[in-house]
Amino acid sequence: MATDGSVLSGARLRTWRWAAVATAVLGLALDQITKALAVTRLDPADPPGYLGGLLHLQLLRNSGAAFSMGSGATVVISLFAAAALVVVAVVVLPRARHRWSLVACGMLLAGVSGNLTDRLLRAPGVLRGHVVDFFALPHFAVFNVADIFITATAVLVIAMSFFGGDSASGKRPQGSGGADDGREGSR
């Protein structure tokens, strides 16, 4: 094990993996609960405004991806999301050994599964369902909790790439290239 504490193993690794799974499950639940509330309580013709008009709760149903791009490719987007979900859950999460990588996996699973659930269960049908979006900021896309999780994951991954590994000191781990630090060979 690396001396800087960045590579997890044993009980600590299992704890962080369970934390990633809990993040995914709780994030999915939060996303679906907020969408259910938006559908039942928001009037699309009269969106309430908050924070001096900075935030509106505008109910929209999005058949496309971010910024409603690809609205004619809903099935392709759904299949891509399903593949991404499987890859993160089956390949990436079991191999992750750093706490921030595990946090990123949990958040990404929450976000992808939240929007994929809409695509599978909402009208007009399986793989063609429209995603419920309801947070609206001025001059920006309308989004949901799942989108927040996906964006936060992207920010975390970018931060990890700039600031290095997961050590408590914030320094990039200096590995020997051996099995101890989770790397095979040098870069």
Would you please indicate which residues are annotated as catalytic (active-site) residues? 133, 147
Q: Strand 49-50 and strand 55-62: pairing?
A: antiparallel
The helix/strand count (H/E) of the chain reads as: 5, 4
CA distance 36 to 121: 12
Nearest to residue 6, comparing CAs of 131, 122, 167?
167
Residue among 92, 98, 110 nearest 151 (CA): 110
Instruction: Give CA angle at 34 (142, 27), nearest 5°.
Output: 95
Residues 116 and 122: their CA atoms lie apart, in Å, by 10
